[in-house]
Amino acid sequence: MKKYIYFTLLCLALMVGCNKNEAKDRVNDPTGKFMKISGRGLCQADGTEFTIKGVNLNHWLTPEAYCFGFSNISVTEVDKAFRQIFGDEYMNGWWKRFLENYIGDEDFVYLNSIAANTVRLPLTYRLFNDSFYLCDNNPEAGFAYIDYVVKMCKEVGLYLILDMHVAPGGQSGAAHIDDSDGYPRLFESQENMDEYCRIWRMIAERYAEEPIILGYELLNEPIAKKYESLYHYLQPTYEKATAAIREVDKNHIIILGGGNFCDDFSMLTNYAFDTKLMLTCHRYGSTDVTKFSDISIQTNLPMYMGEFGHWSGGAENNFQVVSNMKSRGIGYTYWPYKKMDNWESLLGFTVPEDWSMIAEFVNSPRETIVQVQIALKKVDVEKATKAMEEYLENCKFRNCFERSGVKDGLQFK
């Protein structure tokens, strides 16, 4: 069955790849023209209404521990654990191949074939400066990845949202989300704030004339509720970043998320600082989106659901929440697109043999040298290395399997 599904998907991919004009007609994005705000909605360059329907390219440029099957720790801590087992040389090469394999051409062709029209690309600030990240410290790496995604989006017919998923110092206060030490240090550090605005300005300057980019999402899931004393920083942070972007780019939509992981918009009191604003919300564990449509009505701004999913009752809830969003004019990008052996993801792939050995080590206490040595005694490095190699192979599109129930629930067609 798996081979049959992917033979079918490959045929679809080839047909889409050969029919680029049709794909471009669907996206309808003449050179030099940009997506526009139209009341509480969006419209394309020729004035046709547009509703975001897509996915997040999760766990690619911003890997997350839970997507590896580990406990909720930062990717920095995951990388540290991997290096304790395998060493720096192996891991530098492994991460490079991970970035090459996890998302590729076939993923974009597939998304077009199921009628998605948008991808949200989570980014980390570490890809835009000389801090070491995963496998190197190349400050141009982020642009290389965006350039690739722009190219593929143009080829198959998808819009692109750039999402600052990991900001300098952390913006959420949840280490597994923002690769921080567990406190949102973006807001109280002038150095972090300057770097944040500098990076957004660089991105905007490079892509100011790129119409396939729908908009810039300034922060992913800012300020957990337990840090609500920092809520008052969110409005000025958005205004500072927008000002930096508008120095070089007057074209693109600016996307703002509320506090408490894009759930609470009460601290955003001024939407008049820019004329091209859209809001984004996240919703896990509930199909009710009434509060978000109410906010859209109150502000007269478009709202899109940047992330939703992880249903305790099963992926069939996708159909209900998507129906609710459609009836209220809310677009959406699903999370997660791809995940190892997970019933919630659109695409899944097989857990490597002996992966549990790696997970046990990563989840073990490793705060001291003695603890690391104790944990390493339970690891067969040869078997663990084989598992790491299998992961790199299994995550390729051609080795993934589609979850048709998730796809049907997303109602792209």
Q: What is the pLDDT of residues 221-271, one digit of tens each?
A: 999 999 999 999 999 999 999 999 999 999 999 999 999 999 999 999 999
Grade residue 24 by pLDDT with cuts at 50, 70 and 90.
Answer: very low
Q: Is the separation of the CB atoms in 345 and 403 below 8 Å? A: yes
CA-based nearest residue to 54, from 163, 188, 193 = 163
Quote the pLDDT of residue 85.
96
CA-based nearest residue to 214, from 121, 346, 292 = 121
Mean pLDDT of 345-369: 95
Quote the pLDDT of residue 32.
45
**pLDDT tens digits, 186-214:** 999 999 999 999 999 999 999 999 999 99
Whether pLDDT at 7 is above 60: no
Residues in CB range of 277: below 8 A, 6 or more apart: 37, 253, 254, 255, 256, 271, 301
Q: How far apart are CA 24 and CA 21, in angstroms?
A: 5
Whether pLDDT at 146 is above 80: yes
Whether pLDDT at 57 is above 70: yes
DSSP, residue by residue, 60-124:
SSS--GGGGT--S--HHHHHHHHHHHH-HHHHHHHHHHHHHHSS-HHHHHHHHHTT--EEEEEEE
Mean pLDDT of 103-118: 98
Quote the pLDDT of residue 313.
61
Give the predicted TM-score (pTM) of the model: 0.92
Which of 42-46, 78-82, 101-105 is predicted least confidently?
Answer: 42-46
**pLDDT tens digits, 265-313:** 999 999 999 999 999 999 998 899 999 999 999 999 999 999 998 876 6
Whether pLDDT at 22 is above 80: no
